[in-house]
Amino acid sequence: MAPPPPSPSMAPPGLIHSAPGLIDTCALPLPPAAVTAAAATASMSSPAAETPSAIQICRIMRPDDANVAGNVHGGTILKMIEEAGAIISTRHCNSQNGERCVAALARVERTDFLSPMCIGEVAHVSAEITYTSKHSVEVQVNVMSENILTGTKKLTNKATLWYVPLSLKNVDKVLEVPPVVYSRQEQEEEGRKRYEAQKLERMETKWRNGDIVQPALNPEPNTVSYSQSSLIHLVGPSDCTLHGFVHGGVTMKLMDEVAGIVAARHCKTNIVTASVDAINFHDKIRKGYVITISGRMTFTSNKSMEIEVLVDADPVVDNSQKRYRAASAFFTYVSLSQEGKSLPVPQLVPETEDEKKRFEEGKGRYLQMKAKRQGQAEPQA
């Protein structure tokens, strides 16, 4: 089934901006309306100038962006999504006279991988601000893949991210966000509902912050212990923002890598990211900290796997602070044959009471999302 067309509100803007560190950045032809957009951007030397409502970054996918089968890692795409969101939200939060700030990622809503992206294709990442509260910015991002040999384009990802502006002078100070102008009154009301919903969900995830992934000796195949994996990473300057805190995109890329290892160990086949449930960033991670990213299988259906990923930060050179939970999320993977066709997934065997409880919770999330998709697929009268 062909992927749905991108929303008109997310149509590629006339002016193309590139993110720092992105290679092979290309500029797309400007549409007739781009004259106005270009003029607006040219006037941005003034702090109070109006900022564009949308941006786009693009780059070609290279072999080190993909797995052995040539499919681009989900973490690579998540990192590009976060970079685009950080650019537009930081730009917006500094669009008026006042204290300078950098937008920090607080949460990523559920992200579906609608179509795979391959080596040699160009990723077009479009970001648009859709709502602002007093202290947060909602950014919607679309990702299109382009085959530059045939000109074929596909919608591969849609994501919603939430950012908060942190002062450059005091990283613990959250600044106020300049308001946006809505074309319809309903847009503001709908945005406020999304804001309240994500705020509630963030509170509900905090009770899991005490969970840890324990190693096991000689685990049996298809058990949680057999495939669980961890990765330890020392946070360096290249991982961080101007504040000296880890970019959200860097954290998400590492989380996807660990989830992919868990899925591959369980299936022993080629695997790809199918979706990511809401990623919550509970606390900032400083430069020089050691982070441990742990993943464990929580649920399997006939053709998909749910993996919980937990990120713990350890301030090894700071005795005044203890190890803490920095981020958490659920990733869904599917198993593919060498021809790229979906394969059955070996069924997970939960052993302990906690594993059985997590399995039932994962089953509930799976059935809920399945029902939601079926409801969206039903034709409207």
Name the residue among 231, 245, 237 with its Cα closest to residue 295.
231
8-state DSSP, 342 = B
Other CB atoms within a 10 A radius of the CB of residue 236 amount to 11
Token couple for 379: 């034709």
At 154, phi and psi to the nearest 5?
-135, 145
Token couple for 69: 């089968």
User: Whole-angstrom Cα distance, residue 333 to residue 265?
Assistant: 12
Cβ(348)–Cβ(295) under 8 Å?
Answer: no
Q: Which of 65, 142, 239, 256 is catalytic?
A: 256
Q: Which of 67, 209, 211, 314 is catalytic?
A: 67
Alpha helices in 231-352 (DSSP H): 248-267
Cβ(266)–Cβ(346) under 8 Å?
Answer: yes
Cβ(204)–Cβ(251) under 8 Å?
Answer: no
Token couple for 318: 């700071």
Cβ(318)–Cβ(298) under 8 Å?
Answer: no
Task: Please tell me whether residue 371 adopts helix, strand or coil conformation.
Answer: helix
Residue labelled with tokens 């394969």: 343
Active site residue 256: yes
DSSP letters spanning 170-228 = -TTPBPPPPP---SSHHHHHHHHHHHHHHHHHHHHHGGGGG------SSPPTTBHHHH-
Cβ(364)–Cβ(277) under 8 Å?
Answer: no
Active site residue 67: yes
Cβ(94)–Cβ(163) under 8 Å?
Answer: no
| Active-site amino acid positions | 67, 256
